[in-house]
Chains A and B, each alone.
Chain A
Amino acid sequence: MTSSIAPFLIFYAGAGLAVLCSGWVRSAVLLAVPLVGGYNLYLLGSDASATIGLFGYTLEFIRIDKLSMVFGILFHLATFLGVIFSLHVKTRMEPTAAMVYAGSALGAVFAGDLILLFVFWEMLAISSVFLILARGSERSYNTSMRYLIIQVLSGVVLLAGVLIRIHETGTITFDYIGLGGLGGTLIFLAIGIKCAFPMLHNWLIDAYPESTPTGTVFLTAFTTKVAVYALARAFPGTEILVNIGLIMALFPIFYAVIENDLRRVLSYSMINQIGFMVVGIGLGTDLGINGAVSHAFNDVIFKGLLMMSMGAVLFRTGKINGSDLGGLYKSMPWTTGFCIVGAASISAFPLFSGFVSKSMIMVSALEEGHIYVWLALMFASAGVMEHAGIKIPYFAFFAHDSGIRCKEAPPNMLIAMGLAAFICIFNGTYPWLLYSLLPMPVNYEPYTWTHVVTQNQLLLFAALAVLVLILVKRYPPELPSVNIDSDWLYRRLAPKALRWLGRSIQKFDAGIRKGGLGFTAGVMRWVERHHGLDGMLARTHPAGVMVSWMIGLLILYLLLYFAG
């Protein structure tokens, strides 16, 4: 039996059903969606197709190959974990938005043409904004509007690129594009916004930490990974990606050290991890692409796990700033344990998932002779160890006892975190199942003696550096603060510049008006002096005076005449 139901349809239908039901029925519907979807995915043959004709073009809803399939499986898995994690949520809007959001990600990944890619690209933006709005605060409202503007901008740029591309090539197929024409460049830029390229990244830092404890878990999984998928599909081997990826891997590790909001630390960490993937795609070798895809897979799970653990902390304590937390291992031991598994995975300790996938990218850089790329990625790995491996668990669960005593996370959250932790360890110890899903042939053995030892050396001594700096009291304390980033440009500089411009125009305008008024007043005064009541030219004289003047002049004239 084979199926030809487009995966997104099941999710959209599930979202529709979820709106209509409530209570445990809705929970059952939400849980069933990724399961039914997963079964449907299993039944989809490689020749499965669902197409419709539109304006002479054929839109392809299902394109099955290894690249789309691995992301398809990943998104089903992420949805399943996210649904379990948010089973306690009673509102209608959030789970429905999450379902549409996940469905849109699947729609984009299985879209065989650029037009459908654009449609689902916009659906991702519109559905995800509700997850930020769901927080219900004024702050999240402001953030969500900024988020929406940037996401829709990405869509508009994509649409422009797609239209130009169709004009250039005459085809709508979504395959290798490259940076050749204007169309390709615009598509690259649009993907770059969603992928959080440097300077285009701040929507992520701004928005993800402002969502609900559960909403952030969904947000973490989809938007950026759809962008990674699109890059891997359309721009593998594009050299500039190596440099872009490096910057992404490097600059967030500095911000992550001094950021106080722990979910914002994880958001910086996301950009750092996506940086690794972008480097892999830029290298474009089989190992690089495989590394990028497998790292995307693992990242969704371990970053999801970390976001879940911080979500659980926020849910139970109402606090998420490192400066307010500490000592929670006493109240939330299970959450602490799961968080540590996530931290070990993202730091790429042997036996955890990051170890397998991150090293594929680094080895491919070395194989291609990019020694500086390799060194920079290793530097970034040490940074990850600091902010995600140590800082997150340390400041939330250990450090100084904040005195907060709360209940352990609810059972549904613990189950979701437990499953995610299991996948992290499974993919770390038995990577071959994930390998079998990868788009390129795999010829990589992660567990060599050298690799295990050197990785341990790198990470343990990075941890020692943290320990030493804490002991000698040089470690920067957690401070209630915000750190300005590129969003400063549009949240501060642009409004300031506009206000300055407005004030300058106002001043200039006032000057002109004042000058004009002064000039007019001067003219009026001059006129008045000569023509006013006492003005010389406006004086009236009696007729007798004129006659005297006339007689006087005549006499003068006669005298001159006779004298001459």
Chain B
Amino acid sequence: MADHPTGNSEKKHLFDNPKNVSRAIYLLVAISVITAGFDLVFARHVEHPIENIFGFYPLFGFFSCAIVILGAKEMRKIVMRKEDYYDDK
């Protein structure tokens, strides 16, 4: 994470250590998997049959977010302009 080392005098911060970055990533993955695992153990109250699909919420969250990001990336080709686009008269 420390792309710009700012000298030895500065104190080391939490994410200056790459190990801590990996730890944070593993933590997120672990919590996600555990939360998804709840579906196997506990029965949920269901409002609509679609919610019965196995892994509905995790899959919906994952793919929605991926679609938003990749869709936006494609959108850049149409809408992105230089920073001074509106400045030059």
A binds B: yes
Residues of A within 8 A of B (CB): 253-258, 327, 329-330, 363, 366, 371, 374-375, 378-379, 382-383, 385-386, 398, 400-403, 405, 448-450, 453-469, 474-476, 479-485, 491-492
A401-B1, A403-B4, A467-B25 known; A460 vs B31 contact (CB < 8 Å): yes
Interface string of B61-72 (1 = CB under 8 A from A): 111111111111
Residues of chain A contacted by B61 (CB below 8 angstroms): 382, 385, 457-462, 465
Residues of chain B contacted by A383 (CB below 8 angstroms): 64-65, 68
Q: What distance in Å separates the Cβ of A354 from its nearest Cβ neighbour in chain B?
A: 15
Q: Let me know if B69 and A457 touch, CB within 8 A.
A: no
B50 CB within 8 Å of chain A: yes
Count chain B CB atoms within 10 A of each CB in A385, A461, A468, A469 and give the residue with the most: A461
Residues of chain B contacted by A483 (CB below 8 angstroms): 76, 79-81
Q: Let me know if B68 and A461 touch, CB within 8 A.
A: no
Residues of chain A contacted by B8 (CB below 8 angstroms): none
Counting chain B residues whose Cβ lies within 8 A of the other chain, the interface size class is 35 or more
| A and B contact pairs by CB, cutoff 8 A, 6 listed | A253-B68, A254-B68, A382-B61, A382-B65, A448-B45, A483-B79
Residues of chain B contacted by A378 (CB below 8 angstroms): 60, 64
Kindly state the separation between the CA atoms of A474 and B71 in the bound complex, as whole angstroms.
12
A258-B73, A460-B28, A460-B31 known; A454 vs B57 contact (CB < 8 Å): yes
Kindly state the separation between the CA atoms of A461 and B44 in the bound complex, as whole angstroms.
18
Residues of chain A contacted by B13 (CB below 8 angstroms): 329-330
Nearest-CB residue, chain A, relative to B64: A382
Residues of chain B contacted by A255 (CB below 8 angstroms): 72, 75, 79
Q: What distance in Å separates the Cβ of B8 from its nearest Cβ neighbour in chain A?
A: 15
Residues of chain A contacted by B51 (CB below 8 angstroms): 454
Q: Which 4 residue pairs across A and B have the least CB separation, nearest first?
A: A382-B64, A257-B72, A461-B61, A465-B65
Out of A382, A457, A484, name the residue touching B36 (CB < 8 Å): A457
Kindly state the separation between the CA atoms of A253 and B64 in the bound complex, as whole angstroms.
11
Kindly state the separation between the CA atoms of A489 and B63 in the bound complex, as whole angstroms.
33
A379-B64, A382-B65 known; A400 vs B57 contact (CB < 8 Å): no
Residues of chain B contacted by A254 (CB below 8 angstroms): 68, 71-72, 75
Q: Let me know if B86 and A371 touch, CB within 8 A.
A: no
Out of B58, B65, B68, B79, name the residue touching A457 (CB < 8 Å): B58
Kindly state the separation between the CA atoms of A366 and B3 in the bound complex, as whole angstroms.
48
Kindly state the separation between the CA atoms of A276 and B8 in the bound complex, as whole angstroms.
49
Other than the given A255-B75, A330-B13, 13 more pairs (CB < 8 A) read A254-B75, A375-B50, A379-B64, A382-B61, A383-B64, A398-B1, A400-B1, A463-B65, A464-B62, A475-B69, A476-B72, A481-B80, A482-B85
Kindly state the separation between the CA atoms of A256 and B48 in the bound complex, as whole angstroms.
31
Kindly state the separation between the CA atoms of A458 and B14 in the bound complex, as whole angstroms.
28
Kindly state the separation between the CA atoms of A386 and B1 in the bound complex, as whole angstroms.
21
Residues of chain A contacted by B4 (CB below 8 angstroms): 400-403
Residues of chain B contacted by A402 (CB below 8 angstroms): 4
Residues of chain B contacted by A374 (CB below 8 angstroms): 48
Kindly state the separation between the CA atoms of A398 and B15 in the bound complex, as whole angstroms.
8
